[in-house]
Structure 1
Amino acid sequence: MRHYISFLLIVLTTTLISCRQDFEFEDSTGNLEFSKETVYLDTVFTNIGSSTYTLKVYNRSNKDIKIPKIQLGQGNNSKYRITVDGMMGQDNDGNGLGDGKIFDNVELLAKDSMYIFIETTIDYAEFANPEAQYLYTDEIQFFNISGAPQTVDLITLVKDAYFLFPKRDSNGSYENIPIGDDEIYGFYLDHADPNNGDEYHWTNDKPYVIYGYAAVPTGETLTIDPGAKIHFHANSGLIVGNGATISAIGALSTYDTDGTILVDNEITFESDRLEPDFSDIAGQWGTIWMSEGSTGNFDHNTIKNATVGLLIEHNAGTINIDNTQIYNCTNYGILAKTGTINGQNIVINNCGQAGLACSLGGDYNFTHCTFANYWPRPNQTPVYIDNGTTDFPVNLTAANFTNCIIYGSSSYGISLKKLNNSGITFNYNFRNCLIKFFDFGQFQNNPLYPIANTADYPGCIIAKTSMTNKPDFLNPQNNKLQIGEDSAAKGTADPATAAGTKDILGNDRTATSWDMGAYNFIIFE
């Protein structure tokens, strides 16, 4: 039996050895195929690393091949870095690590493929020119024994910017801003910063990139010019302190006949991730925080992809918000806590909790606004209002909505929470508004809502089912909230309020277009 087992082991070993064949690689003749002919690395700010982009390389032949050399066209001087099939390439600076520039004798099996990962970090100053941006290009070269190398182009748009960030002291500690009994990673703006000049005046000659929270202290005013672009890093934002002011007054942009922007005069607040994949991702930065006692004016602004677009707390003066769009916030578009707001032509959409939250009382007046909420998950609402909590009751002096559209993907456009406290006011009024409110019986006797209460909803149109009184938005999931000619909001605004005003695009409201919401109706193509 022992001899039989030994015989089987010998036969098995011999079989395995005889089946093994060493790979023989032939030099590439240049018949590689690629997933892309050009890799666009989108836009990067100077000295900020890009995302990682992918190129796939295919060997469609029946032969195992060896690519004599893969390299960047500018060699070791290239501002790109590549990783080829997990390898970092030649070590040219002697640190024991590959530089991601040049690769020798890269093997690729028959009918197989490999990945190349591409990144870049570019110093704008090395290629300075009169413009605020330029294209940086290179190529990946795949050498072969048949002739000229095959190539894949690399293209990156590079932008110069003003960078604002906390300074480090001699002990290596970074600046922080006191917030009550706590601190937050941030810094106060400077009238004479050695690199940026007057940081209380943000211009439109190049973008601003903010790290941490930029703070406007008591007695100071931050002025932002039309067309300025403000980009926040993760966990960053802007704080306007007690007794401080922000003046973010943009202007109407101009467009050609196909809707392309010719002159962009909007002030835009968004993240510093410029890749298209991040253009509509919520929660990439913190908030614009109007702290207690601050004042401000916002006109022709776009605020997008924040945690909370505008956080407004216990304001001594009025916050004026006009012609402003707020999109894609993980929590709220506007969260006001005992705030005082006058708003006209505001558009809010896609917020995880509420588009507009008027919390802890306050004084609010909104005219011709579109408060939508098409957040892809439930438990969200376009408009939420309360007058505090049992432990902290606050008067809701006014919450007036005139000629507004309040609609979304959930069943209820509004959510009202009134304290059972006779000493605390809860004054609200919706006039000539289109409001979604699908009641399934539970609100028939609730005096807060339009099913049982018409006195606080004069001239309102209530969408009680999915088939009636629809706003006819162009594409609400993608923040296109223009209304069509079949909209229930068309021609149903209060003329006394609408007459003599313009919509958010600068179009006159006339007797033929006294429409609810921020937009006059259009005919969809």
Structure 2
Amino acid sequence: MKHVLYALITFTFLVSLSSCRKDLEFSPSSGNLLFSKDTVYLDTVFTNIGSSTYTLKVYNLNNDDINIPTIKLGLGEDSEYRLNVDGIPGKSFQNVEILAKDSMFVFIETTIDIDNLPDTNGEFLYTDKIEFDSGFNQQEVDLVTLVKDAVFIYPDRDNTTGIIETLTLNIGGEQVETDIQGRYLMPDELTFTNERPYVVYGYAAVPNGETLTVEAGARVHFHANSGLLVAEGASLHVNGAFSPDQDLLENEVIFEGDRLEPSFSDIPGQWGTIWLLEGSVNNIINYATIKNAGVGVLSDGNPDESGSKLQISNSQIYNSSNFGILGRNTSITGENVVINNSGQSSFAGTLGGRYNFTHSTIVNYWRNSFRQFPALLLNNFTETQDAVLIADLNEANFNNCIIYGNDNPEFILDEVEDNSVVFNFKFNNCLIRFSDPNNNFTDDNYDFNNLDLYDGIVRNVDPHFMDTENNKLIIGENSGAINIASPTYVIGTTQFDILNVDRLSAETLDAGAYQHITF
């Protein structure tokens, strides 16, 4: 009997409780929804490349639970937008419920084929709206996306097997099949213009005997694990020019990832590298910005090439997840080069080679993770599974440069001593960050009193950069780099700094890529 009585009481209590719950009774929407934004800008996307997912939050501030009869895209099923309302995908929804004083999420994406839009001349502003309810209660949130047309370069895919084309390279005189996805550029693709951006999937390879010319103002975007590859006997000529507007960089050539949303603007490691293979020749990069790569520029071999295998000038390399420039037994000349924010070293000259940098700012203010290597690394070896290979460091000269960062020391000379190879380097009139309180670096390479190795050096004085986090590395009026440079190295293109300021007409002659300003 007690059990029956207990069950009766429990049942009565549940009935009483349910009869008091208002949240099971949903009132029709009255058009009083509140939105986290009245317009959702999906930023810029390339044609046929999906956008990021954007979020709209919808609030019910009423004291009653409500039912929204319809939520739909204004263009209906023809809309290029996609919605997900409270976890359900679609383009229209019925009877969507929101509890009192509660909210829900609407997620928005798009993939737009610009060929399906009206004549766009390369760009089109695509718009739609999300409509909540109808009639007098209808509320709207606008959707806006700028769509850019582009030249797409991608490897072939076998539709039957799904296998993507890979590159065959000439390595040491042998044709070697690799697993690098990509293809060689065709003759009509060997000039990148500034008319439309380029989007590269896989590695776009420059064939033997050919030159890829990239014109001033060109924009080259790489998908993940993609890049440029300059094969044996081939060349890369990046012909950027000075840009009066340093925000637009209208005349510079820009290499970056293919995600255009602002949240991706400074994310390292979005694409692979510009790879100058051993045997590639006469590579020239002038007025370029290379950002968000794994390795900005990778140069292999040709250490004794007349002149340099790579001549890079007036260029900036930022946000590389590994190295800004990585040289492996190669030859590089750099003038007015700025490198910052690299997961390992901003510049690494490894396995010997020839390196000459003048009026360059080689720094590393990486903050994304622990950093093992300094801003500048020089060595004369590489380790393989079976042996340690060594080679001559024939020369490594840094003249009127800044070598600095948020670690200390910011350069390391890692020499394997062997009488069969040389290790030649010199720093002239540079501001460098190097202190050794624990006496870890005691060999002759770090004898700062040796004028054959270090001449006119200033150590551990703040460069007074404008904003290292945002890669603004112009120096201010309190910089330790002011007036420490030597006119001996101001010749040719280095007469003007990277902002086209005449160094020889300035009151002071400053180290690094920039003459100082007041800020």
Identity %: 49
Which of the numbers 482, 492, 495 marks the counterpart of 1:490?
Answer: 482
Shift of 1:20: 1.6
Q: Is the 8 A contact 1:473 1:484 kept in 2?
A: yes
What is the deviation of 1:170? 7.0
Q: Quick one: distance in 2 between partners of 1:450 and 1:123?
A: 62
Mapped to 2, the partners of 1:363 and 1:330 lie a distance apart of 24
Quick one: which amino acid aligns to residue 44 of structure 2? T
1:415 shift after superposition:
0.8
Residue identity opposite 1:336 in structure 2: G
- Match of residue 134 from structure 1: 124
Per-residue CA deviations over 1:484-505 (Å, capped at 9, x if unaligned) read: 0110101111122226611111
Counterparts of 1:53-132 in structure 2 under 5 Å?
53-88=54-89, 100-129=90-119, 131-132=121-122
CA drift of 1:38 comes to 1.0
- Cα distance between partner residues in 1 of 2:451 and 2:118: 64
Greater Cα shift, 276-285 or 494-503: 494-503
The AA in structure 2 aligned to 1:508 is D
Counterpart of 2:275 in structure 1 is: 289
CA distance in structure 1 between the partners assigned to 2:134 and 2:66 by the alignment: 10
1:437 aligned onto 2:434: yes
* 1:276 aligned to which of 254, 262, 269: 262
1:183, 1:480 → 2: CA distance?
38
Say if 2:150 is the partner of 1:150. no
Report whether the alignment pairs 1:475 with 2:439. Answer: no
Q: CA deviation at 1:242?
A: 0.7
Alpha-carbon shift at residue 439 of structure 1 (Å): 1.7
- Partners in 2 of 1:183 and 1:153 — Cα distance? 45
1:515 alignment partner in structure 2: 510
Partners of 2:490 and 2:399 lie apart in 1 by 9
Does structure 2 retain, via aligned residues, the 8 Å contact 1:358–1:384?
yes
The Cα of 1:17 is off from its aligned counterpart by 3.0
**Is residue 189 of structure 2 the alignment partner of residue 167 of structure 1?**
no
Aligned match of 1:233? 223
Aligned equivalent of 1:339: 330
Task: Give me the whole-angstrom Cα distance separating, in 1, the residues matched to 2:290 and 2:71.
Answer: 44
Structure 2 Cα separation of the partners of residues 409 and 170 of structure 1? 50
Give yes or no for contact 2:431–2:511 (8 Å, CA) kept in 1: yes
Distance 1:233 1:75 in 2: 31
Q: Secondary structure at 1:375's aligned position in 2? A: coil
Structure 2 residues without counterparts, runs of 5 or longer: 170-175
The answer for the alignment partner of 2:181 in structure 1 is 185
Shift of 1:85: 1.2
CA-to-aligned-CA distance 1:292-329 (integer Å, 9 cap, x gap): 01121000001111111111000255210001111111
For 2:121 and 2:137, the matched residues in 1 are separated by 35
What residue number does 2:45 align with?
A: 44
- The CA RMSD over aligned residues, in Å, is 1.7
**C-alpha distance in structure 2 between counterparts of 1:428 and 1:134, whole Å:** 54
Alpha-carbon distance change, 224 to 128 in structure 1, aligned in 2, over 3 angstroms: farther
* Residues in 2 aligned to 1:102 and 1:33: alpha-carbon distance in whole angstroms: 19
The alpha-carbon deviation at position 106 of structure 1 amounts to 1.4
Report deviation, 1:349: 0.5
Deviations 1:241-264 (A, max 9, x none): 011101111011122xxx643x60
SS of the equivalent of 2:446 reads coil
- 1:76 is paired with a residue whose SS is helix
Is 1:371 aligned with 2:372?
no
Deviates more, 1:424-433 or 1:454-463: 454-463
* 2:68 aligned counterpart, secondary structure: strand
Query: 2:195 is matched with which residue: 183, 198, 205?
Result: 205
Cα shift at 1:48: 1.1
> Secondary structure of the equivalent of 1:125?
helix
3-state SS, counterpart of residue 503 of structure 2? coil
* Alpha-carbon distance in 2 for matches of 1:9, 1:169: 69
Q: 1:94: which partner in 2? A: none
Q: Kindly provide the amino acid, as one letter, of the partner of residue 299 in structure 1.
A: N
Q: Is the contact made by 1:443 and 1:452 (CA closer than 8 Å) also made in structure 2?
A: no
411-420 or 428-437, which deviates more: 411-420
Q: Deviations over 1:443-464 (max 9, x none)?
A: 573311254645311001011x
SS in 2 for 1:71: strand
Partner of 1:215: 205
CA separation in 1, counterparts of 2:379 and 2:12? Answer: 82
CA contact (8 A) 2:294 2:323 kept: yes
Kept in 2, the 8 Å contact 1:304–1:327? The answer is yes
Q: Which amino acid aligns with 1:475?
A: D
Q: What is the identity, as a one-letter code, of the residue corresponding to 1:348?
A: I
Does the 8 Å CA contact 2:30/2:137 hold for their aligned counterparts?
Answer: no
**3-state DSSP of counterpart to 1:327:** strand
For the 8 Å contact 1:445–1:452, the answer to whether it is kept is no
Q: Distance in 2 between matches of 1:459 and 1:495?
A: 12
Q: In 1, are the aligned partners of 2:29 and 2:137 still within 8 Å (CA)?
A: no
TM-superposed deviation, 1:379: 1.9
Paired residues of 2:335 and 2:357 also in contact (CA < 8 A): yes
Amino acid of the structure 1 residue aligned with 2:405: G
Aligned partners of 1:443 and 1:449 also within 8 Å: no
Amino acid in structure 1 at the alignment position of 2:86:
D
The 8 Å contact of residues 448 and 454 in structure 2, kept in 1 or not, is answered as: no
Do the aligned residues in 1 keep the contact of 2:167 with 2:177 (CA within 8 Å)? Answer: no
- Which residue number corresponds to residue 172 of structure 2? none
- 1:96 alignment counterpart: none
Distance of 2:459 and 2:445 partners within structure 1:
14
User: What is the CA distance between 1:109 and its match in structure 2?
Assistant: 1.2
Give secondary structure in 2 for the equivalent of 1:478. Answer: coil
Residue aligning to 1:395: 392
State the distance in 2 between where 1:284 and 1:324 align: 19
Q: Report the equivalent of 1:195.
A: none
Q: Which segments of structure 1 move beyond 3 Å, counting only runs of 4 or more?
A: 169-173, 179-182, 450-455
Query: Partners of 2:167 and 2:352 in 1: how far apart?
Result: 28
| In 1, Cα distance between equivalents of 2:442 and 2:165 | 55
User: Secondary structure in 2 aligned to 1:31?
Assistant: coil
Q: CA deviation at 1:176?
A: 0.8
Q: 1:122 deviation in Å?
A: 0.9
What is the Cα deviation at residue 148 of structure 1?
A: 5.4
Cα deviations by residue, 1:400-448 (Å, 9 ceiling, x for unpaired): 0000000001111201111110121000000000000122131573311
Find the residue that maps to 1:19 and give its secondary structure: helix
Extract unaligned runs of 5+ from structure 1. 89-99, 192-197, 464-468
Q: Conserved in 2, the CA contact under 8 Å of 1:351 and 1:380?
A: no
Confirm or deny: 8 A CA contact 1:379 1:410 kept in the other structure: no
- Give the aligned residue type for 1:27: P
1:426 is matched with which residue?
Answer: 423
TM-score, with normalisation over the residues of structure 1?
Answer: 0.91
The residue type equivalent to 2:149 in the other structure is D
Q: Match of 1:17?
A: 15
